Amino acid sequence: MKIAVYPGSFDPITLGHMDIITRSSRLFDKLIVAVLKNVEKKGLFTIDERVDMIGKLVEKYDNIEVVSFEGLLIDFMKSVDARIIVKGLRVGLDFDYELQMSHMNRKLSKDRVETILMMASTEYSYISSSSVREILHFRGDISNFVPGDIVQDIYKKVGIDGGVV
C-alpha cells in the first residue's frame, strides 16, 4: 500500500491546500494530512480545531486521514509506515526551501523517505494561510481563499459574526 503524508500547519486550510489534498489523494492508496503542532508558534486555530476543520472537508474521501503530530516529520512517517512526503509549491522560494527539507528528510530517514513536489494550480498559486490571516485581521472577505464549508467557522473564530460585507 502506498501511503503518503501531506504535512503542514494549515492555519487555516486554504483552497490551495485542498487542491493539493484532492489531487494527491488520487495518486496514493492512503493520504495522511498531518497537522503540525509547532510549540513555538501560537496559531489562530488550535491543533484540534484544524484537524476537525480538515476532517470535515475530506470526510467524503475514503483514503484520507487527518491527524496531528509533533516532533520530527521523519519520526511521524516511521510511525505510520509512510515513505512519501507530499509538498505543494506555489513560487520559486517554496522550491528552495522544500529542496533543502527534502534532502534533510532523506538523510534523516537513511534514504527511506522521498518527497514529491506538486505544483499549485494556477488559480491558487498566490494563496497562503498567512495572507488569509492578514485579511481576517482587517475584517476582509476570505471567501475566495478558503473552502466555502468553513468560511463561517473561521469568521466566528475571529469574532466576525455573519461574515463580512
* Active centre residues (catalytic): 17, 41, 90, 129
Instruction: Please check if 127 is assigned to a binding site.
Output: yes
38: phi then psi, degrees, rounded to nearest 5: -100, 105
∠ Cα 55 57 61 (to 5°): 80
**Distance from chain centroid for Cα 136:** 19
Q: 87 among the known binding-site residues?
A: yes
User: Do residues 83 and 113 lie in contact, with contact meaning Cβ atoms separated by under 8 Å?
Assistant: yes
Q: Has 129 been labeled as part of a binding site?
A: yes
**DSSP classification of residue 120:** P
**Residue 73 annotated as binding site:** yes
Q: Is 24 annotated as a binding residue?
A: no
Q: Is 88 annotated as a binding residue?
A: yes
Cα distance between residue 130 and residue 47, in whole Å: 16
Which amino acids are annotated as binding site for ATP, given as ranges? 9-10, 17, 88-90, 98, 124-130
| Binding residue numbers for substrate | 9, 41, 73, 87
State the binding site. 9-10, 17, 41, 73, 87-90, 98, 124-130
